[in-house]
Chains A and B, each alone.
Chain A
Amino acid sequence: MSDESKKAPYTMNIGPIHPALKEPVMFTFVMEGEMVRDVDFAPGQAHRGIEWMGMRRNPVQIVHLTDRICGICGVSHTLAFSRAVEQIAGIEVPERADYIRSIIAEFERIQSHLLWAGVAAHELGFDSLLHLTWRVREQSMDVIENLTGNRVNYGIVQVGGVRRDIVPEQHRVIEDCISTYGGLLGKLLNLFLDDRTVSMRCRDSGVLSRQEALELCTVGPTARASGVNVDLRQDYPYAAYGDLDVKAVLPDQHLGETHGDVYDRIVVRLLEVGQSCQIIQQCLSEMPAGPVTAEEKVAKLLAICKKATGEAIGRVEAPRGECFHYVRMEGQEAPHTWKVKASTYSNLMSWIPMLKGEQIADIPIIVASIDPCLSCTDRVAVVRDRSRSILTKEDLHRLSVEKTRRLQR
C-alpha cells in the first residue's frame, strides 16, 4: 500500500458474502470521515452459470431451474421463461391459467414486500416492527403453500399453463388472507410512515433522481419511488393483468410529492401490498372456468418445444421490477440461447448515486432500500494507516441502530 493511504480519503470494503442474498456483492467505499465520497461494487460471487446449464437442458427441465434462480421471486422467472417459450412454440395458454399465474405472482409480491419491510425495520433498529411484519408475512406464505404445495420453489408454472388448479375450497383460504391484510395495511402504513424516527432516518437519504433512474435503467419499486411511471402490469400487461387495469403506484399519489429517497421506496412497496390484495380479489371473482394447461402430457409438450424455432422475449413485473428472459430456439431439445435478466441486475447501478454523500451508518438501509435483501454488509474492513480493523455485519448494524437512538433523543 502506498503512502497515499495514510491520508484521507480512506478506502473501505464491504462484502462480499452474506447468506441472506442470492447475489452477494463486494463494495468498496472511498470515505472522507463519515461521508461516502465514492462507491464501487463487484457482483458475481454467487454466479452459478444457470444460463449455461439451461442451454444444455430442455424447457421442461429449465422451468425447475428458473424456480431456483431466486428464492423470493421464483414464479416471476419461471413465468417469464415460460412466456418466451410459449411464444416461440405458438402455445396458447388457457385463460384460467393466466388468472392462476397472476394470483400466485401477486402473493409472491405480498410476501416479498413484507419481507423487505421487515428487513428495513431491522436495519433502522425497529425490531418489534420486524417481528410484526414477518409474523403477518407468514399468512401469505401459508396461502402459497396451500396453492402450490411449497413455501418456496413453487414448481407451479409449466410451459403452456400451470400444474395445479385453484379449487373452490381454496377460495376461502385466499379470501381469509386478503381480508386480514386489508385490516393490517392501515396499521403498517401508520407504523412506518407516521413514525417520526423512520422519517428522520429515511427522508432525503439515499436519493435517486428521476433522471438518474432513467439513465441507469432502473426498474420496479426503485424506479417508481423516483417518479418514473413504469410497471409492466400497466404498460405491457401479460397473463390476466390486461383485464384488470392496474395502475403503477407512485409516491406522489399518496404524499403529493416525490423525493426519490428511502422513505418513498417504503411508501411504494407498502401501497403495492394493498394493490396486490385488490388484484387477487379481482382475479378470484373474474376467473374463467376451463383447463389450466395447454398440454398436460409432458412428453407431448417436449415434442412441441423440440420442433420450435425462433426467438422471443418474456417479461414479467417481479416484486423488485422487470424480470426479462430472452430465448432463442433452433429445433433442438435445448434452447440455442437463453439470457436471464433479473430485476436487481438493472437496479444495482443506482446504488452509486444513492450512496454518494451519505454516512457509514446509513449504508445498511440505503443498500437494503432497493431490496436486494441486506446484501453484503456481512464484513467490513476499514483500512486506515496500513492497519486493518474489521467491522462485522453486527458492528455496522449497531452503528445504524445507534444513529436511530441519537436521533430519538
Chain B
Amino acid sequence: MNEEILTPEQVVERFAGKFGAGIHGTRIGERREGKKKNPNFDIWIDLERDLLKPAIRALIELHYPHLSVISGSDMGDSIRLLYHFTIYYGRVKGEYTVTFAVLLPKSDLSIPTISDLIPGAVFSEREKQEFLGVKVIGIPDSRRLFLPEDFPEGIYPWRKDDTGVPEGMVNNLWASKRPVDRPAPPLVEAPACEPDAGDKQAVQSGKEPGKEGGRS
C-alpha cells in the first residue's frame, strides 16, 4: 500500500498512463455543499473489460478500496457495469469515489469475478447475475440472492429488452378494487369512499377538484 496521497487528477493520470488506449474516458465530478463549500470528488473511469481486474489491482496498490456496490444499466445493445469504489477513507475530507465502468455486449455478457481481490464483492456479483443476466466467471457462489425461488429463469428485472419483467407479471395495486369475497363484518360497514362522491362533495363546498396539490 502506498502512503503517498494523490490528488484526483493524479489518480486519473496514473490510470491513463498505465492502461493507455484501454481507457475510453475519464471524468472528475466535484460537489460542494454547506457554508464552507468543501469539495467531494467522484472519479469516473470507462475502461475495457479485460482491464477491470488489472485496474482494481492498481487501485489496491494506492489504497485498499472499499467496494460500495456494483451497479448496472441496460444500454440497449450492451450492459454497462459500474464498480463503485472509494479510496482514502479515514482521511478527513479526503475520500474519493472511484467508479470503473465496463461495457459488455449482449452477445457476450461475461465478466471475471473480482471476489478473489475483494471477498465482499460476491454479494453484489450475485445480484448482478440475477437482475441483469450477466455471467460472472469464477464466482464462488452463483446462487440467487434476492429473487424468490419460483421466479422464472431467463427474466432479468433491470433489463429493458424482451428479457425484462413482462407486463403480465406486474400487479398494478392501484387498479385493484376492494375485495368482494370477504365474510360480512360484525358491524355494518360505512359505504366505501368513491372518488366521484368525493369530487361532488368538494364542488358543493366550493372547492374545485384537482386544484389542490399536484397531480402526478
Stretch of B9-17, B68-76, B184-192 lying at the A interface: B68-76
Residues of B near A47 (CB, < 8 A) are 146-148
User: Are the C-beta atoms of A215 and B119 separated by less than 8 Å?
Assistant: yes
Residues of A near B195 (CB, < 8 A) are none
The yes or no answer to B56 lying at the interface (CB within 8 A) is: no
Known A217-B67, A337-B71; contact A326-B33, beta-carbon cutoff 8 A: no
The yes or no answer to A183 lying at the interface (CB within 8 A) is: no
User: Are the C-beta atoms of B69 and A339 separated by less than 8 Å?
Assistant: yes
User: Are the C-beta atoms of B35 and A240 separated by less than 8 Å?
Assistant: yes
- Docked Cα-Cα span, A98 to B73, in Å, equals 30
Q: Which of B46-72 contact A (CB under 8 A)?
A: 64, 66-69, 71-72
Residues of B near A348 (CB, < 8 A) are 123
Interface string of B137-168 (1 = CB under 8 A from A): 00000011111100000000110000001000
The yes or no answer to A9 lying at the interface (CB within 8 A) is: no
User: Are the C-beta atoms of B120 and A52 separated by less than 8 Å?
Assistant: no
Q: Which of B85-100 contact A (CB under 8 A)?
A: 86, 88-95, 97, 99
Q: Which of B17-31 contact A (CB under 8 A)?
A: 29, 31
- Docked Cα-Cα span, A239 to B122, in Å, equals 32
User: Are the C-beta atoms of B36 and A243 separated by less than 8 Å?
Assistant: yes
The yes or no answer to A49 lying at the interface (CB within 8 A) is: yes
Would you mind naming 5 contact pairs between A and B with Cβ atoms under 8 Å apart? Answer: A217-B121, A235-B88, A241-B34, A313-B99, A324-B68
Besides A236-B89, A324-B84, A339-B71, 7 new A-B residue pairs in contact (Cβ under 8 A), listed by A number: A47-B146, A47-B147, A60-B214, A235-B94, A240-B35, A324-B68, A337-B74
Residues in chain A within 8 A of chain B (CB atoms): 42-45, 47, 49, 51-52, 55, 58, 60-61, 83, 87, 93, 95, 98, 214-219, 228-230, 232, 234-243, 245, 247-248, 286, 288, 298-299, 311-313, 315, 322, 324, 326, 328, 336-337, 339, 341, 345-346, 348-349
6 tightest A-B CB contacts, nearest first: A242-B38, A217-B120, A44-B146, A229-B90, A339-B71, A235-B95
